[in-house]
């Protein structure tokens, strides 16, 4: 049977972005009114796209200025365990490695985020990750502030909060058309029509497509494919306590992953929005770069995938009402940082949807409405 339903807010997209803002909007905590929220997700499984394909790292030193501020502001949420007591993060430092000819890149990284990093020799780096080739690594920078995120648990926690607040998450419900009908937006899906005065566009790589459906000016989102492989650890080696190892110029990374190793060529290939799949060339490049830096021979690829990291021109996220369409709210462009920023970005977006100030703790971390605005210079 076709549905005809109305809500206060319709969120398009059930990834980490859509569920984080929906959780905050459905929450009647404090003295705010809870809003009736409906999340529409095209896939049958939430997290099928980028949210379920990440490297699951919390890295406060990674990304441009506002991303780093949002990541810092998300720290308290990551320190709060899930309702069943399971921690949302696990220890996992990051080690940026450099060859002898990359001393300049080490200096640049030190200049950008030096206060949080510890400079070490190649020998010290190899004590932390013995698989590193002596002939490859000359010096390294250790970031003890990074951690591993339990992404599925974080995502599930947001979904539970949506439902606990009376909200609804509707999978298998792809949005096919969006039009203004009086004060409301009319959102068409194969399951029926949903109406609300506010639509939140949290459609990940498809956010510009959603804007076009609604007749709203796109923000110039560029999805970029990134590949990841799971390979075996050498026989008898336990990698569990190793840091994540990243080349200082972000050409590859390696991370312990449930008894195996996650490796990536850190590719950034432009792509249309799609169900991204790994390309043979990227897999070959990945294996070559990893075998060059590590004493590792990749004999078997246990699992492989690719996902889309979506960016606008300045690399910062977009959160705010469209200037050209009342009630159309953007929540997009989280790039490679959408998990680590989700708690603070979800709260920020919810405040802006409600036309409130950005929460004090997030503003104090350095997040300003103007730097998230879809109307800021350079977008579109």
Taking the CB of residue 132, how many other CB atoms lie within 10 A of it? 24
Closest to ligand FAD by CB, 191 or 354 = 191
Report, in Å, the least distance between residue 285 CB and ligand FAD: 14
Q: Are 196 and 6 in contact (CB under 8 A)?
A: yes
Closest to ligand FAD by CB, 55 or 106 = 55
Taking the CB of residue 280, how many other CB atoms lie within 10 A of it? 7
Q: Can you list the positions of beta strands (E) in 9-145?
A: 9-12, 37-40, 57-58, 89-91, 94-98, 118-121, 139-143
Report, in Å, the least distance between residue 127 CB and ligand FAD: 25
Residues that bind ligand FAD (CB under 6 A): 12-18, 40-43, 48-51, 53-57, 174-175, 202-206, 210, 226, 228, 307, 309, 334-340
Residue 258 tokens, joined: 């449930």
Q: Are 358 and 326 in contact (CB under 8 A)?
A: no
Give the integer Cα–Cα distance in Å for 234 and 238. 8
Report, in Å, the least distance between residue 273 CB and ligand FAD: 7
Closest to ligand FAD by CB, 126 or 350 = 350
Report, in Å, the least distance between residue 363 CB and ligand FAD: 21
Report, in Å, the least distance between residue 55 CB and ligand FAD: 4
Of 116, 115, 135, the C-alpha closest to 125 is: 135
The SS3 call for residue 175 is coil
Closest to ligand FAD by CB, 138 or 168 = 168
The set of residues, in sequence order, having a beta carbon less than 8 Å from that of 101 and lying 6+ positions away, is none
Closest to ligand FAD by CB, 136 or 206 = 206
Report, in Å, the least distance between residue 227 CB and ligand FAD: 7
Closest to ligand FAD by CB, 122 or 265 = 265
Distance of CA 8 to the CA centre of its chain: 26
Angstrom distances, CA of residue 8 to CA of 35, 37, 351: 6, 6, 14
Report, in Å, the least distance between residue 31 CB and ligand FAD: 29
Closest to ligand FAD by CB, 250 or 295 = 250
Report, in Å, the least distance between residue 310 CB and ligand FAD: 7
Angstrom distances, CA of residue 327 to CA of 11, 77, 103, 145, 332: 12, 28, 50, 38, 16
Taking the CB of residue 366, how many other CB atoms lie within 10 A of it? 14
Closest to ligand FAD by CB, 11 or 99 = 11
The 8-class DSSP code of residue 280 comes to H
Closest to ligand FAD by CB, 203 or 358 = 203
Give the integer Cα–Cα distance in Å for 187 and 176. 8
Report, in Å, the least distance between residue 33 CB and ligand FAD: 25
Closest to ligand FAD by CB, 70 or 296 = 70
Report, in Å, the least distance between residue 157 CB and ligand FAD: 15
Residues present in the chain in total: 380
Give the integer Cα–Cα distance in Å for 291 and 205. 32
Please work out, in degrees rounded to the nearest 5, the angle formed at the alpha carbon of residue 152 by the alpha carbons of 147 and 155. 100
């Amino acid at each position: 049977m076709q549905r005809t339903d109305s809500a206060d807010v319709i969120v398009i997209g059930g990834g980490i972005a859509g569920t984080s803002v929906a959780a905050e909007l459905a929450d009647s905590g404090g003295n705010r009114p809870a809003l009736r929220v409906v999340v529409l997700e095209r896939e049958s499984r939430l997290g099928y796209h980028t949210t379920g394909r990440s490297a699951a790292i919390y890295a406060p030193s990674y990304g441009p200025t506002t991303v780093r501020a949002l990541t810092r502001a998300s720290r308290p949420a990551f320190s709060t365990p899930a309702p069943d007591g399971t921690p949302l993060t696990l220890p996992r430092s990051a080690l940026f490695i450099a060859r002898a000819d990359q001393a300049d890149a080490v200096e640049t990284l030190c200049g950008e985020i030096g206060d949080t990093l510890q400079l070490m020799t190649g020998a010290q780096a190899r004590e932390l990750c013995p698989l590193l080739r002596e002939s490859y690594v000359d010096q390294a920078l250790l970031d003890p502030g990074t951690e591993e995120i339990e992404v599925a648990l974080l995502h599930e926690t947001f979904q539970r909060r949506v439902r606990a607040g009376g909200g609804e998450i509707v999978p298998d419900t792809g949005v096919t058309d969006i039009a203004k009908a009086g004060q409301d937006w009319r959102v068409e899906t194969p399951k029926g029509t949903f109406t609300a005065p506010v639509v939140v566009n949290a459609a990940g790589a498809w956010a510009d497509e959603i804007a076009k459906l609604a007749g709203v000016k796109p923000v110039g989102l560029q999805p970029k494919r990134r590949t990841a492989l799971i390979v075996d650890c050498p026989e008898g080696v336990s990698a569990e306590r190793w840091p994540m190892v990243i080349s200082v110029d972000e050409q590859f990374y390696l991370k312990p992953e449930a008894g195996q190793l996650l490796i990536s060529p850190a590719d950034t290939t432009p792509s249309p929005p799609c169900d991204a799949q790994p390309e043979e060339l990227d897999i070959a490049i990945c294996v070559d770069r990893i075998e060059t830096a590590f004493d590792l021979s990749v004999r078997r690829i246990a699992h492989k995938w690719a996902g889309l990291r979506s960016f606008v021109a300045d690399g910062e996220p977009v959160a705010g009402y469209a200037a050209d369409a009342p009630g159309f709210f953007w929540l997009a462009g989280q790039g490679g940082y959408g998990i680590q920023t989700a708690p603070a970005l979800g709260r920020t977006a919810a405040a802006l949807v409600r036309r409130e100030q950005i929460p004090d703790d997030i503003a104090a971390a350095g997040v300003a409405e103007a730097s998230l605005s879809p109307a800021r210079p350079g977008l579109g």
